């Protein structure tokens, strides 16, 4: 662990849970009462929470799973929609002996967390989503500017071609995102980049991560539209954090999410673009401590 917002005697350990049809790899730190689940985005693994796990474990049992198909978790032939991935996490919580958890999700992990909160509200006590707008909202408001910013969504949507083109130069492709969507050079760190490159250099994991994006245009959007028609929204307390210098810097993030959640609060993180847990871990930690129970 390096560059942590605070020092701690706690350590992060690596585990694998056999859920029957899939094995989920997760990092764990601490054993202090409530469970806190941290969900990573793309192109990352649970390693992206390395700066936050130890300080959060002072009051929580903290786990950071690799999502289905990512990192060291299993790569089944399908099931990369957010509903199936969220069901994996629900089973993982119970396999660890808990009935519910507080959940923090970033990027793709935030979309999984959103679906989890809608499908199984009793599973999640408090929810924090980092640097995302609702998938349905993004899809409904795409224009020339947003399409240019989200070009990779449409590239990843194409069958087979992204796998062919990316597999020959995984490091260059990942660095393009990791470096351009950070507010300062070196924010991610070479050790973490090497971790992510190794993870996505496995053909089955690269394919799975692209299937995650493809599901966003199909099963995920259909589920979101159904929830909207039925008036289903997030009922848990919701915290929203986003990068002030990133793609959501000028968006009405809390206003948009107010149509998808009963109660929410939020804040922009300064000197930050997209990768909040790695760019500004101390600020993320501060906001989480104010939001999550047990810190006051």
**CA distance readout (Å), 12 to 63, 91, 92, 201:** 9, 22, 18, 24
**CA distance readout (Å), 208 to 25, 205, 241, 250:** 15, 5, 27, 32
* 104 neighbors 130 (Cβ within 8 angstroms): yes
Which is the catalytic residue, given 60, 80, 213, 260?
A: 213
Residue 143, token pair as written in the block:
């224009």
Helix-strand-coil split of the chain, %, nearest 5 = 45, 15, 40
**Could you give the CA distance from residue 149 to residue 134 in angstroms, rounded to a whole number?**
16
**Could you give the CA distance from residue 251 to residue 27 in angstroms, rounded to a whole number?**
33
Which is the catalytic residue, given 107, 125, 220, 227?
A: 107
- In the annotation, is 213 catalytic? yes
Buried b (16+ CB within 10 A) or exposed e, 136-152: bbbbeeeeeeeeeeeee
**Could you give the CA distance from residue 235 to residue 19 in angstroms, rounded to a whole number?**
28
The sign of the CA dihedral 118, 59, 31, 188 is positive
- In the annotation, is 107 catalytic? yes
Residue 179, token pair as written in the block:
């470096």
**Could you give the CA distance from residue 104 to residue 294 in angstroms, rounded to a whole number?**
16
- Catalytic residue numbers, as ranges: 107, 213, 274
């Amino acid at each position: 662990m390096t560059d942590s917002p605070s020092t701690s005697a706690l350590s992060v350990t690596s585990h694998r849970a056999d859920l029957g049809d899939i094995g989920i790899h997760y990092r764990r730190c601490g054993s202090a009462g409530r469970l806190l689940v941290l969900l990573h985005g793309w192109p990352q693994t649970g390693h992206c929470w390395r700066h936050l796990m130890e300080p959060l474990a002072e009051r929580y049992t903290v786990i950071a799973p690799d999502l289905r198909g990512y990192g060291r978790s299993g790569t089944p032939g399908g099931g990369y929609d957010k509903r199936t991935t969220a069901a994996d996490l629900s089973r993982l919580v119970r396999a660890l002996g808990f009935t519910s958890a507080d959940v923090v999700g970033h990027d793709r992990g935030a979309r999984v967390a959103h679906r989890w909160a809608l499908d199984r509200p009793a599973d999640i006590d408090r929810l924090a989503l980092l640097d995302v707008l609702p998938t349905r909202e993004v899809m409904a408001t795409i224009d020339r500017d947003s399409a240019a910013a989200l070009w990779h969504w449409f590239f990843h949507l194409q069958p087979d071609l992204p796998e062919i083109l990316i597999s020959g130069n995984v490091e260059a492709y990942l660095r393009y995102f990791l470096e351009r969507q950070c507010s300062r050079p070196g924010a991610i760190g070479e050790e973490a980049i090497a971790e992510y490159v190794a993870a996505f250099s496995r053909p089955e994991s690269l394919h799975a991560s692209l299937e995650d994006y493809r599901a966003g245009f199909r099963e995920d959007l259909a589920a979101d539209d159904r929830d909207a028609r039925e008036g289903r929204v997030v009922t848990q307390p919701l915290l929203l954090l986003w990068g002030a210098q990133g793609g959501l810097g000028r968006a009405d993030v809390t206003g948009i999410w107010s149509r998808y959640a009963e109660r929410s609060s939020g804040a922009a993180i300064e000197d930050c673009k997209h990768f909040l847990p790695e760019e500004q871990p101390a600020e993320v930690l501060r906001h989480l401590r104010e939001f999550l129970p047990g810190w006051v």
